[in-house]
Amino acid sequence: MKYEACLPSNIKKPKPNSSIEERSDFIRRKYEFLQFLDIEENLSCPFVPSHARCSSYSERSSSSNNFPQDKKHYDKQETKSLIGSTFRNSWGRKDSEHKSSKKSNSLAGMIEFIGLIKVNVVKGTNLVIRDVMTSDPYVIISLGHQSVKTRVIKSSLNPVWNESLMLSIPDNIPLLKVLVYDKDIFSTDDFMGKAEIDIQPLVSAAKAYEKSSINDSLQLGKWVANGDNNTLVKDGTISLEDGKVKHDISVRLQHVERGVLEIELECVLLTQ
């Protein structure tokens, strides 16, 4: 990825268990300060190389013997025009190439992040069987082009992870996707269910109470489990605890016969 083309040896990419401060600092260095760009590749001068200019100038000089000396001023203007045209054409090509590119890493490089979401995968309950009488489940959390996953819990239909994962929140907030799989050694991992979570209410609450001095616990909202939203096993609450905006939810896994996943979400804005 071009935004990490020149990553210094003393700077390490944040890992899933890295602190919020480490991830926030890395994101700012990468996207805001552009400290890891390949300067030669991304800021290459679009002007005509010096040897090319000399060659072109020599050709014009040899032919200029047949013209008056007052044409030198015109030659200089022509050279400036050539440089400007080259500059515009260079950026035009780059713009065209960028628009036609469909690689996910290129798209990710253009995304502006507004914060971080901490996903604590608590536990699963009554998950489906995918092996002989049991399963080896793990969870994948995706947000846009980002994906992280938990460790595998061996031989359990009621796994307890209590594992925290971190993802960056893009400005155009997508659904948080949760997928559960059974780990297989000799074949493709088996699907054990999925769920999609709208984190927009959580982010909105975090923005509203970003500079709040309230220290007491406060319920900010509720995600009601009803007939229209059969993903939720019970009502999910958005609350303010010790200055942190959190959302505790229990989701029913979809496209399988059974299974519930308990998740705790926390939103941290980059301005905090």
135 and 228 in a single domain? The answer is yes
Residues 83 and 185 in one domain: no
For residue 245, give the amino acid letter. Answer: V
Q: Quickly list DSSP for 133-155.
A: S---EEEEEEETTEEEE-PPPSS
Residue 179 shares a structural domain with residue 233: yes
Residue 122 has which token pair?
């608590």
Residue 258 lies in a domain: yes
Is residue 93 in some structural domain? yes
177 is a domain residue: yes
Residue type, 166: M
Task: Give yes or no: residues 171 and 191 share one domain.
Answer: yes
Same domain, yes or no, for 195 and 158?
yes
Are 122 and 246 found together in one domain? yes
Q: What are phi and psi of 220, to 5 degrees?
A: -100, -25
User: Same domain for 96 and 152?
Assistant: no
Bridge partners, 160 (sequence order): 123
Report yes or no on 194 lying in a domain.
yes
Domains of the chain: total: 3
Q: Are 143 and 172 in contact (CB under 8 A)?
A: no
Q: Is residue 85 part of a domain?
A: yes
Same domain membership, residue 178 and residue 95: no
In this structure, is residue 95 part of a structural domain?
yes
Q: Examine the domain organization and report whether 230 and 176 are in the same domain.
A: yes
Regarding whether 172 and 131 lie in a shared domain, the answer is yes
Q: Is residue 68 part of a domain?
A: yes
Is position 105 within any domain? Answer: no
**Residue 254 phi, psi dihedral angles, 5° rounding:** -95, 160
Report residue 91 as tokens. Answer: 């950026």
Number of H helices, E strands in the chain: 6, 10
pLDDT in tens, the chain (272 residues): 556 667 677 777 777 667 777 777 777 776 666 766 665 544 444 344 444 444 444 444 444 444 445 544 444 454 444 444 444 444 444 444 444 444 444 444 556 889 999 999 999 999 999 998 999 999 999 999 999 999 999 999 999 999 999 999 998 999 999 999 999 999 999 999 999 999 999 999 888 887 766 666 676 766 666 655 567 887 778 888 877 889 999 999 999 999 999 999 999 988 75
Domain residues for 9?
A: 2-42
- Write down the residue that tokens 């780990």 correspond to: 183
Please state, in angstroms and rounded to a whole number, the distance separating the CA atoms of residues 236 and 224: 6
Residue reference for tokens 């002989």: 132
What does pTM read for this prediction? 0.59
Residue 196's Cβ-count burial label (10 Å; 0-12, 13-18, 19+) is middle
